[in-house]
Amino acid sequence: MAQVLEFRLPDLGEGLTEAEIVRWLVEVGDVVAVDQPVVEVETAKAMVDVPCPYAGVVTARFGDEGSELPVGSPLITVAVGAPASDPDAQNEGSGNVLVGYGTSEAPARRRRVRREQQVPVPVNGRSAPAEVVEGPVPVISPLVRRLARENGLDLRELTGSGPEGLILRADVEYALRAAASQEHQAPAPAPTVVPQATAAAPASTPAQTRVPLKGVRGAVADKLSRSRSEIPDATCWVDADATELMRARAAMNAAGGPKISLLALLARICTAALARFPELNSTVDTAAREIVRLDAVHLGFAAQTERGLVVPVVKDAHARDAESLSAEFARLTEAARTGALTPAELTGGTFTLNNYGVFGVDGSTPIINHPEAAMLGVGRIIPKPWVHEGELAVRQVVQLSLTFDHRVCDGGTAGGFLRYVADCVEQPAVLLRTL
C-alpha cells in the first residue's frame, strides 16, 4: 500500500526565509525519482531547482507560479510505494534537500509529461487562452517566460535578438512597449463640447506601473538602505595612466596559455593593496563596538544580469594568481547570467571590486556592500591627453574611486590604499614587491 509523504520547502540557508515559485517542473500524476528537481524557485540570492528526496507519484502541488512560500511550507505530496511504470524510481529518500545542490552522486534525469502549453493573449483587456503553434521556443530564462506570460504575450510571435534567435528580456520589453504605443495611437472618440459655465474636469491621473520590491530587487533595496543608514561612507578618487597595465596584459596573453582578464589583474592589485592596508578588509560589529579585521579576502564583484545586479564572491582571492582569478571570474559570471549561482556564491564577501567602466562611464560613488567596509570602483579606460615623461601624449587613462567606511579608517589610510592601486595600474612592476 502506498504511503503519502509530504515534502516541504527546505531551509535555504544564508538567512533566507522564503522563496517564489518560478516554474513547476512536475505535474500531479507524474512519476518522480529521488533527487529529481520538482520546482524552480527564486530566492533573494539566486534562482535554483529544488530536488525531491522521495521517489513515487506526485499526488498534490502547493502554490501557484509567482506565489511566495515561507520555508517549511508544503511543496508537494508523493505517494511512495505506489505502482509505477518507471523502473528507475526508488522508494528511499536521500535526506538531503539543500537548494542549489544535488542530493545524489549522479543527477537524476527529469521525467516530465510533455504537454501543449497555452499562452494567454489579451482580449478586451483580459487574458484568455490562445492556440499555440507546436514547436520549441528559443527562450532560456524563466523570468523571460514569466514576464511574457504575465503580460499576455505569445513568445512564438517574437524574433529573438540573442544568439541563434534566443529571446531575451529586452525583446519582450520592446514588444510590450510597441503594443502599448499602438494602443495610445488608436483613434480617440469625438470630443464633447462642454459649456464654458461648466467647471473644468480635474486632470487625469498619470499612468502608473508598480513593480513589487521582492526577490533580488527587494533584497538589493533592503541591503542598500541598510548600508546608507548604518555606514558613514566617504569617497575619494584619482586618475591613473593604465597604458602599461594594458601592455602587460597583452604581453601575458601573447605568451600563450589561458587568457588573463583585466578584471583579474585589477583583483590581484586589490588583494596586494589590502595586504598593505588591512583596515579596509574589515567589518564593524556595532553591538560590540568593535572593528573586526579579516584575514582572508573574499572578493565580490558586481555583475549585471537579466535579474538585476548581483555580487558573486571569489573566495580566498588573496591566495589566487591572475590565471586562477580569471577562471573563477568567468565561471561565476556565466553562473550569474544563467541564474545558477548558489546562495553560498553570493555571500561572505569582505571587499568589492566594481568595474562600472563596462557601462561606458568614468566615475561613480557606489554604495558599500553591507557589511563590508570598502569598495573599489573602476571606470572606463579611454585615450586621453596625459603628461608622460614631461611631454604631452595620448595615454590610456582610467578613473579609480574608493568608497570606504569612515569608522574603520581615516582619509590617510584610504588615500594610501587608492594611491598604491593607482601606482600598480601605472607601473605593474610595483606588484613584484608583493609576490
How far is the C-alpha of 149 from the C-alpha of 120, rounded, in Å?
7
Residue 335 is placed in which grid cell? 553562473
Let me know: does 409 contact 276? Beta carbons within 8 Å.
no
pTM of the predicted protein model:
0.61
Mind listing the pLDDT tens digit for each residue in 340-365?
Answer: 888 889 889 999 999 999 889 999 98
The cell for 135 is 514547436
The predicted pLDDT at position 231 comes to 95
The torsion angle over the Cα atoms of residues 359, 360, 363 and 366, rounded to 10 degrees, is -10
Which CATH number among 3.30.9.10, 3.30.70.360, 3.40.50.150, 2.40.50.100 corresponds to the domain 1-115?
2.40.50.100
pLDDT of residue 321: 94
Domain extent listing, the chain? 1-115, 120-180, 232-434
Res. 163: pLDDT tops 90: no
d(CA 364, CA 354): 10
Cβ atoms within 10 Å, residue 114: 5
Segment 402-414 mean pLDDT? 96
**Which pLDDT score is estimated for 341?**
85
Architecture of domain 120-180: Irregular (4.10)
Known active-site residue 318: no
> Over 80: is that where the pLDDT of 112 sits?
no
Cell of 248: 602587460
Mean pLDDT along residues 49-65:
90
Output 310 or 124, whichever has higher pLDDT.
310
Q: Any bridge partners for residue 63, and if so which?
A: none
The order of strands in the sheet holding 37-42 is 47-51, 37-42, 18-24, 68-70
What is the band of 85 on the pLDDT scale with cuts at 50, 70, 90? very low
> Which has the higher per-residue pLDDT, 81 or 398?
398
Q: Phi, psi (5° rounding) for residue 312?
A: -65, 160
What percentage of the chain reaches a pLDDT higher than 70?
Answer: 76
Residue 216 has pLDDT above 80, yes or no: no
Query: Quick check: 206 pLDDT over 90?
Result: no
Q: What is the pLDDT of residue 333?
A: 93
At 150 the pLDDT is: 77
pLDDT band at residue 13 using 50, 70 and 90 as cut-offs: low
* 236 has pLDDT over 60: yes
State the average pLDDT for the chain.
80
Q: Which of 111-115, 122-126, 156-160, 333-337 has the highest mean pLDDT?
A: 333-337
Is 232-434 a CATH 3.90.400.10 domain?
no
Q: How far apart are the first and last CA of the chain?
A: 67
Question: Which position among 184, 318, 388, 406 bears the catalytic label?
Answer: 406
Measured from the Cβ of residue 135, the count of other Cβ atoms closer than 10 Å reads 6
